[in-house]
């Protein structure tokens, strides 16, 4: 019995020695004697954290105000002792009368809740963080360590997207997501990302649905975007396109839209046989294709029969059906004002002779605009006007619009409206490219950009004129052109060129006191450049000074703070303070409830395609520039977390560029 009591006493004593006293909240007491300092104690290596303990040990405190912009589990912080009272590092000072920081809280999460749905622990409940000491020369504000992930295997198709692009999605969820989008997006950054997503040559999603159906979904999305050539390429890569009835209709429609009548009408008999198996949305298009092929082959009775069948099937009246009626009777085609004209409708109207494209330029969809811009039967001025409007839809790239400008041979003095404006733009562009004198070239470039800005084409115009701007010799006589050259370089992704022009501008006499001119453009280049390894915070002081001088509007300050926070760049406290003195802006696009939560979840799971589609839903058709700051921050943060850093930074540049402070006059 004594032996048993002795054993129990010794066991209790050893347990008391091994477990240090704790205070409220489970944090080891600061008064507990370290185990290694007691006589005879052996030094033990600390136990490696496991699972969630690793994440908790490296979690940062939330931004004040429960912001969704709080960086979670990815950014290392300096060594901290036990938390002391006061604001967390990087948060604004609690000056009396100031509101919390302006990074917005997502409506899908209650205040204080993290992006994973868990309630954030308070500052006092967090264990002290022990991390490596900062190394000399390393910019702590831009040190980003992405944890709990490996670099994805990239596709070998030139899109820069992962090979497992559609993991976590089924064909049904992809269809539903694309159906809710307004296509094509007006945002160049979103459009470029969506285009790469849909044209990527990667395996189809798992979990139901055939490869042919997946091809059909992608081809339809590209057709809605006016990207007819890309749709044809996607269909051509599918080996089952010839045998699948749905793909056969889509392939025929696409070939006809591209002007390849023989290819489009080759399998009309197969389409006739498969009519009963087509989904309702494609039955009308199949009938329209067969009517076109019959009319083009001189079979007027068969074409009339197809039109009657279409009306019996309840197909909505369209310019194509009216065009078949006109062709059969020899009348001039007529269609209702404002009626949608698709690519196949256009080809049907062509059967009766040249189409008056001037009447369609301002109402036609992206696909028809692309056709008109390349149609040799249309007058050159109207082709230019169609090309400009297609560029606003992002259906024509800046390179294609520049080619259209260069190919314009003059004339069309009687052009008016959009056609006259397009002729003027083309003349200025050609003159700017051909001029060799630096001063005259700079003036012509500025004139061209001013005209393009009034026409809503400033961003593509900057990309088009960037090579000419970069070729100008930097001399003091054209110092006024420095800012324009920086803008063109940033829009075209030439960050080295933007920095070179900013450095040149710093050698000139800067107007007014304060930081040298153009340094704030370096700050914008630093946050947008995906190739910059460190130093993203080095020019933020210039932004603080501009903000103090009132060069940013309150809304721009909120957007700037949101973008910096989403890119994991520490926001300077003066910017926090200035922004927090004004109410959070309530303008811009906000998605339906649940989209932002789903976006954060998809990014966390590395569901790349799902993240892109949800980002498009979150930002809306006008992209980062037109999004609410809540959507903006969550969208950039999701792309960054999913590993799409280049796209996240393009969104950030788009969000800030047009509102960036510029030289007066």
Residues sharing a CB contact under 8 Å with residue 252, sequence separation 6 or more, in sequence order: 263, 264, 265, 266, 267, 268, 271, 289
Asked whether 268 and 261 are in contact (CB, 8 A), the reply is no
Q: Would you state the pLDDT for residue 65?
A: 37
Which of these ranges, 326-330, 485-489, 652-656, has the smallest mean pLDDT? 326-330
The answer, yes or no, to whether residue 113 has pLDDT greater than 60, is: no
- Label residue 342 left, alpha or beta by phi (over 0 means left) and psi (-120 to 50 means alpha): beta
Residues sharing a CB contact under 8 Å with residue 309, sequence separation 6 or more, in sequence order: 287
Q: Would you state the pLDDT for residue 516?
A: 67
Give the model confidence (pLDDT) of 289-336 as tens digits: 999 999 999 999 999 999 998 888 888 888 899 999 999 998 888 887
Asked whether 372 and 378 are in contact (CB, 8 A), the reply is yes
Of residues 511 and 57, more confidence is placed in 511
Concatenated DSSP letters of 160-211: --BSSTTTT--HHHHHHHHHTS-SS-S-HHHHHHHHHHHH---PPPSSS--H
Dist. CA 548–CA 573, nearest whole Å: 12
How confident is residue 149, by pLDDT bands cut at 50, 70 and 90? low
Of residues 477 and 51, more confidence is placed in 477
638: helix, strand or coil: helix
The answer, yes or no, to whether residue 21 has pLDDT greater than 90, is: no
Name the burial class of residue 366, with classes exposed (0-12), middle (13-18) and buried (19+) by CB atoms within 10 angstroms of its CB. buried
Domain boundaries in the chain?
182-381, 527-665
Q: What is the mean pLDDT of residues 477-492?
A: 96
Catalogue the E-assigned strands of 74-122: none
The answer, yes or no, to whether residue 33 has pLDDT greater than 60, is: no
589: helix, strand or coil: strand
Dist. CA 261–CA 258, nearest whole Å: 8
Dist. CA 543–CA 67, nearest whole Å: 22
Rounded to 10 degrees, what is the CA torsion of 384, 390, 394, 398?
-10
Asked whether 234 and 219 are in contact (CB, 8 A), the reply is yes
Q: Would you state the pLDDT for residue 235?
A: 94
Dist. CA 290–CA 632, nearest whole Å: 46
Q: What percent of the chain stands above pLDDT 70?
A: 74
Q: What is the mean pLDDT of residues 369-389?
A: 94
Dist. CA 90–CA 218, nearest whole Å: 44
Q: Would you state the pLDDT for residue 156?
A: 78
Q: Would you state the pLDDT for residue 410?
A: 73
The angle subtended at Cα 153 by Cα 642 and Cα 564, nearest 5°, is 25
Query: pTM of this prediction?
Result: 0.76
Average pLDDT, the chain: 79
Q: Would you state the pLDDT for residue 317?
A: 84
Of residues 89 and 611, more confidence is placed in 611
Give the model confidence (pLDDT) of 529-567 as tens digits: 999 989 999 999 999 999 999 999 999 999 999 999 999
Dist. CA 233–CA 255, nearest whole Å: 11
Concatenated DSSP letters of 261-307: HHHHTTTHHHHHHTGGGS-HHHHHHHHHHHHHHHHHTT-HHHHHHHH
Whole-Å CA distances, 356 to 253, 360, 372, 536, 562:
22, 7, 10, 53, 48
Residues sharing a CB contact under 8 Å with residue 85, sequence separation 6 or more, in sequence order: none
Which of these ranges, 58-72, 413-427, 519-533, has the smallest mean pLDDT? 58-72
Asked whether 232 and 258 are in contact (CB, 8 A), the reply is yes
Dist. CA 331–CA 328, nearest whole Å: 8
Which of these ranges, 48-57, 544-553, 590-599, 640-649, has the smallest mean pLDDT? 48-57
Give the model confidence (pLDDT) of 242-280 as tens digits: 678 889 899 999 999 999 999 999 877 777 777 777 887
- Phi, psi dihedrals of residue 474, rounded to the nearest 5°: -85, 100
Residues sharing a CB contact under 8 Å with residue 243, sequence separation 6 or more, in sequence order: none
Q: Tell me, rounded to whole angstroms, the distance of Cα 632 from its chain centroid.
A: 10
Name the burial class of residue 89, with classes exposed (0-12), middle (13-18) and buried (19+) by CB atoms within 10 angstroms of its CB. exposed
The answer, yes or no, to whether residue 517 has pLDDT greater than 60, is: yes
Q: How many CA atoms lie within 13 A of 133 on its CB side?
A: 2
């Amino acid at each position: 019995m004594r032996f048993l009591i002795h054993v129990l006493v010794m066991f209790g004593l050893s347990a008391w020695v091994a477990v240090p006293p704790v205070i409220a909240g489970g944090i080891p007491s600061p008064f507990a004697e370290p185990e290694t300092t007691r006589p005879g104690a052996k030094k033990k290596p600390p136990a490696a954290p496991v699972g969630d303990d690793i994440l908790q040990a490296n979690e940062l405190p939330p931004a004040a105000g429960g912001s969704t912009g709080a960086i979670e589990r990815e950014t290392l912080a300096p060594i901290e002792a036990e938390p002391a009272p006061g604001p967390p590092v990087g948060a604004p000072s609690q000056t009396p009368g100031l509101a919390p920081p302006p990074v917005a809280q997502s409506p899908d999460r209650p205040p204080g809740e993290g992006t994973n749905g868990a309630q954030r622990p308070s500052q006092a409940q967090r264990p002290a963080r022990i991390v490596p000491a900062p190394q000399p020369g390393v910019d702590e504000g831009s040190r980003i360590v992405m944890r709990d992930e490996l670099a994805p295997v990239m596709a070998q198709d030139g899109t820069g997207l992962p090979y497992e692009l559609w993991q976590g999605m089924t064909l049904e969820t992809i269809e539903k997501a694309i159906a809710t989008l307004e296509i094509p997006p007006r945002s160049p950054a979103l459009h470029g990302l969506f285009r790469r997503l849909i044209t990527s040559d990667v395996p189809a999603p798992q979990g139901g649905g055939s490869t042919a159906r997946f091809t059909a979904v992608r081809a339809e999305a590209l057709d809605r975007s006016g990207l007819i050539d890309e749709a044809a390429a996607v269909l051509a890569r599918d080996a089952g396109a010839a045998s699948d009835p749905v793909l056969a209709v889509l392939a025929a429609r696409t070939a006809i839209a591209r002007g390849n009548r023989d290819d489009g009408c080759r399998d009309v008999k197969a389409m006739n046989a498969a009519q009963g198996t087509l989904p309702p949305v494609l039955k009308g298009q199949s009938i329209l294709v067969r009517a076109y092929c019959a009319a083009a082959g001189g079979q007027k009775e068969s074409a009339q029969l197809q039109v009657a069948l279409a009306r019996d099937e309840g197909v909505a009246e369209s310019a194509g059906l009216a065009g078949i009626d006109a062709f059969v009777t020899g009348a001039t085609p007529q269609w209702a004002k404002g009626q949608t004209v698709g690519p196949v409708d256009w080809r049907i109207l062509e059967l009766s002779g040249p189409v008056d494209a001037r009447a369609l330029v301002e109402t036609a969809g992206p696909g028809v605009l692309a056709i008109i811009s390349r149609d040799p039967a249309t007058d050159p001025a109207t082709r230019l006007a169609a090309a400009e409007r297609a560029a606003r839809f992002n259906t024509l790239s800046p390179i294609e619009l520049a080619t259209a400008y260069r190919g314009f041979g003059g004339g069309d003095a009687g052009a008016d409206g959009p056609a006259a404006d397009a002729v003027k733009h083309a003349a200025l562009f050609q003159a700017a490219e051909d001029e060799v004198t630096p001063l005259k070239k700079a003036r012509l470039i500025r004139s061209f950009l001013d005209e393009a800005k009034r026409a809503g084409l400033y961003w593509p115009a900057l990309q088009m004129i960037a090579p000419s701007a970069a070729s100008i010799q930097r001399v003091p006589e054209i110092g006024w052109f420095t800012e324009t050259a920086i803008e063109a370089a940033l829009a075209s992704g030439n960050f080295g060129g933007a920095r070179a022009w900013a450095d040149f501008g710093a050698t000139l006499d800067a107007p007014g006191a304060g930081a040298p001119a153009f340094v704030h453009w370096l700050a914008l280049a630093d946050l947008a450049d995906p190739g910059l390894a460190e130093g993203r915070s080095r020019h933020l002081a210039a932004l603080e000074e501009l903000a103090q001088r009132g060069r940013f509007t309150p809304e721009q300050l909120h957007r700037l703070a949101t973008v910096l926070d989403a890119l994991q760049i520490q926001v300077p406290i003066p910017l926090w303070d200035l922004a927090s003195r004004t109410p959070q802006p309530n303008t811009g696009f906000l998605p339906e409830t649940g989209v932002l939560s789903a976006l954060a979840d998809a990014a966390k799971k590395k569901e790349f395609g799902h993240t892109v589609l949800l980002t498009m839903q979150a930002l809306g058709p006008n992209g980062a520039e037109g999004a609410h700051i809540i959507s903006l921050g969550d969208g950039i943060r999701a792309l960054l977390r999913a590993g799409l850093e280049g796209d996240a930074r393009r969104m950030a540049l788009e969000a800030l560029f047009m509102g960036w402070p510029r030289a007066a006059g």
